[in-house]
């Protein structure tokens, strides 16, 4: 009898231990979110998207699943903002340069005011948006803001001086396109993903953007010249549909709010490092020539840009915006974040 009860006790103990040690079955995600992006997966807007997805999924303990749609499979470059407002995607990543008239305040970051890199650009853009909270973002929840590294000329023909640039067809959008125009080039506007075909067909002779695209879009295979100008950045935003945001539980909202500045700065840092890596690759394996302007030539280029900020100010003033204050704020923020 004693032996039997010991055996029974043993079985009970074993069973309980097995139950206690068994992995708890993973709960099915309660919340599924779609995240749309316009360029292909290996490019920086999508790299930051995957990082955000990973952070949100782990910080919410698997309660949230983010399904990502790179390459314009859910929403494209130009309908990103309206698509998110309409709820075709919960979240979307957009480049403000593709709708310059729509994002006047935040596009002030594309004025030639000397943003030195993507980390500073991203923090300046974030602070500028936060301070002015412009109407154009009122219909969405802003989840991150970041910028590219400063723009440079990538071309099939060498650009060594302003003469080489006259009438040259180069792809650019928004503020960057205005800068090219001021230098006498012929800016051709189109979103980045269409540039691959435009270069192949010879519709453009090059482009004006941040240099990590030399590797990520393999532009180094056709554009054998890079002229360093380090002039302006392209501003981006990650936005969420308002109703999708309101439906989230408070703890999930907190995870996303806490991530906002961190994600913006992370993306700036990633961009700055990736530009270096992409240019090393371009020079070493693709025979790309990097052209540096002399101080004298550089001064000539800079002089052509002087009227652009005044032009932006008078346009923004006419829309009832505190334009001078915005430019002043920008200069202060660039200094503050460059320290
Ligand atoms: C950009 C857009 C998509 C993917 C990679 C990119 N690197 C820089 C940009 C900036 C941009 O939108 C543009 O049009 O130059």
Separation of CA 318 and ligand 1 centre (Å): 29
Alpha-carbon distances, residue 161 vs 3, 48, 175, 282 (angstroms): 98, 36, 21, 22
C-beta of 60 in contact with ligand 1 (< 6 A) = no
Instruction: Tell me, in angstroms, the distance from the centre of ligand 1 to residue 287's CA.
Output: 23
| Per-residue pLDDT tens over the stretch 104-140 | 999 999 999 999 999 999 999 999 999 999 999 999 9
Q: Is 45 in the pocket of ligand 1 (CB under 6 A)?
A: yes
Q: Is 271 in the pocket of ligand 1 (CB under 6 A)?
A: no
Name the residue of 39, 97, 174, 229 whose CB sits within 8 Å of the most ligand 1 atoms, as the mutation to test its pocket: 39
What ranges make up the beta strands (E) of the chain?
31-36, 64-69, 91-95, 140-147, 152-155, 169-171, 186-188, 206-209, 225-228, 235-241, 289-292
Sorted by where each begins, the domain ranges of the chain are 31-147+235-275
38 Cα–ligand 1 center, Å: 10
pLDDT, position 273:
98
Alpha carbons 213 and 274: distance in angstroms, whole number: 10
pLDDT in tens, 71-93: 999 999 999 999 999 999 999 99
Q: What is the pLDDT of residues 183-226, one digit of tens each?
A: 999 999 999 999 999 999 999 999 999 999 999 999 999 999 99
CA 47 remoteness from chain centre: 10
Q: What is the pTM of this model?
A: 0.91
Say how many Å lie between the CA of residue 200 and the centre of ligand 1.
18
Q: Whose CA is nearest to atom 1 of ligand 1?
A: 192
Q: Is the pLDDT of residue 3 over 90?
A: no
Asked whether 213 lines ligand 1 (CB < 6 A), one says: yes
What pLDDT does 170 receive?
98
> Ligand 1: does its nearest atom lie under 6 Å from the Cβ of 98?
no
Q: How far apart are CA 170 and CA 185, in angstroms?
A: 7
For residues 7 and 121, give the distance between their C-alpha atoms in angstroms, rounded to a whole number. 71
Ligand 1 mutation target, pool 176, 177, 210, 217, most atoms within 8 A of CB? 210
How many A from CA of 173 to the centre of ligand 1? Answer: 9
Give dist(CA 22, CA 303) in Å, integer. 71
Which atom of ligand 1 lies closest to the CA of 191? Answer: 14
Contacts of 75 (CB under 8 A, 6+ apart): 36, 38, 69, 83, 84, 88, 89, 92
Using alpha carbons, select from 67, 88, 72, 223 the residue that is nearest to residue 155: 223
Residue 153, both tokens: 């000329």
Q: For residue range 295-324, what is the model confidence (pLDDT) as tens digits?
A: 999 999 999 999 999 999 999 999 999 999
Report the nearest-CA residue for atom 15 of ligand 1. Answer: 209
Q: Which fold has domain 31-147+235-275?
A: D-Maltodextrin-Binding Protein; domain 2 (3.40.190)
Separation of alpha carbons 65 and 57, rounded Å: 6
Rounded mean pLDDT of 271-283? 98
Per-residue pLDDT at 25: 47
Exposure string of 283-292, with b = 16+ CB inside 10 Å and e = fewer, is eeebebeebe
Pocket residue to mutate for ligand 1, from 37, 40, 43, most atoms within 8 A of Cβ: 43
Position 100 scores a pLDDT of 83
């Amino acid at each position: 009898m004693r032996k039997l009860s010991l055996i029974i006790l043993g079985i009970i103990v074993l069973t309980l231990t097995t139950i206690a040690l068994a992995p708890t079955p993973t709960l099915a995600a309660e919340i599924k979110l779609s995240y749309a992006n316009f360029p292909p997966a290996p490019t920086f807007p999508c790299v930051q998207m995957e990082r955000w997805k990973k952070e949100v999924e782990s910080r919410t303990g698997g309660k949230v699943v983010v399904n990502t749609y790179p390459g314009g499979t859910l929403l494209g470059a130009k309908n990103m903002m309206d698509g998110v407002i309409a709820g075709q995607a919960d979240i979307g990543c957009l480049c403000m340069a593709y709708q310059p008239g729509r994002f006047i305040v935040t596009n002030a970051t594309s004025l030639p005011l000397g943003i030195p890199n993507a980390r500073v650009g991203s923090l300046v853009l974030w602070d500028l948006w936060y301070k002015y909270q412009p109407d154009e973002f009122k219909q969405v929840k802003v989840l991150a803001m970041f910028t590219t590294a400063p723009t440079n000329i990538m071309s099939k023909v060498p650009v060594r001086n302003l003469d080489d640039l006259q009438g040259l067809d180069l792809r650019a959008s928004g503020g960057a396109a205005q800068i090219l125009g001021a230098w006498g080039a012929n800016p051709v506007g189109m979103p980045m993903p269409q540039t691959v075909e435009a270069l192949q067909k010879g519709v453009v002779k090059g482009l004006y953007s941040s240099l990590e695209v030399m590797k990520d879009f393999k532009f180094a295979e056709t554009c054998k010249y890079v002229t360093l100008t380090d002039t302006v950045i392209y501003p981006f935003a990650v936005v969420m549909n308002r109703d999708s945001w309101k439906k989230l539980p408070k703890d999930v909202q907190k995870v996303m709010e806490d991530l906002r500045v961190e994600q913006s700065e992370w993306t700036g840092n990633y961009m700055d490092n990736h530009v270096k890596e992409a240019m090393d690759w371009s020079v070493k394996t693709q025979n790309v020539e990097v052209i540096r302007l002399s101080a004298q030539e550089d001064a000539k280029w800079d002089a052509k840009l002087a009227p652009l900020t005044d032009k932006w100010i008078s346009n923004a003033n006419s829309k009832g915006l505190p334009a001078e204050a915005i430019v002043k704020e920008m200069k202060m923020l660039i200094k503050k974040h460059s320290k």
